[in-house]
Amino acid sequence: MTTALLILIALVTLCSAATAMLLRNLIHSVLLLIGSWIGVSVFYLFAGAEFVAFAQVLVYVGAVSMVVLFAVLLTRRSRADMAVSPDTQSRAVSAVLAAGAVLAVLLYAVLLTPLPSGISQGPSANVRQIGTELMGTHAAALLVIGMILTVATLGGVVIASTDGASKKEGPK
């Protein structure tokens, strides 16, 4: 029962991710990728990691997807531009070959590693435990993450802002 559920989640996630990478319409790709992100968060829920599942939806569906969609709309010249021009055949083939090779190595490693028999009943971390661990053991890492996020946000704003660029470029 649980295995079937897991396979279903995996299939939905993988199919939407694969389709997203194949489609030519950028917006459709992004929306399908959002579908696969939601699939991953459903997997987290399935595994009992409630907190990360909701954090994943909040960050990916609420924030990252919006940034991506805005970027897509800001970087096109016409509506017809939305369909990406097809990539060269050789490039696609070599990409699939490279990914296939990586997949083969990964699957070889995964399937041949002896895993402990019997399903260990994993821990159930409630939000309080996660909070204590974040603030206690990993407090330094939390501060560093905060710094990274601040710097990244400021950097993003500086890079994307038009104030400095328009002076240098002059009229287009």
Q: Which residues, numbered 62-91, are part of the site for other proteins (CB under 8 A)?
A: 62-75, 77, 84-85, 87, 91
By CB under 8 A, is residue 143 in contact with other proteins? no
Of positions 1, 8, 42, 44, contacts other proteins by CB under 8 A:
44
Q: Does 8 bind other proteins (CB under 8 A)?
A: no
Is position 164 an interface residue for other proteins (rule: CB under 8 A)? Answer: no
- Is 123 near other proteins (CB under 8 A)? yes
Contact 36, 16 (CB under 8 A): yes
* Shortest Å, Cβ 80 to other proteins: 12
Burial of 86 (0-12, 13-18, 19+ CB in 10 A): exposed
**Cα–Cα distance list, 33 to 29, 50, 68 (Å):** 6, 21, 11
Which of 42, 78, 80, 110: binder of other proteins (CB under 8 A)?
110
State the DSSP code for 81. Answer: G
When asked if residue 36 is in the footprint of other proteins (CB under 8 A), the reply is yes
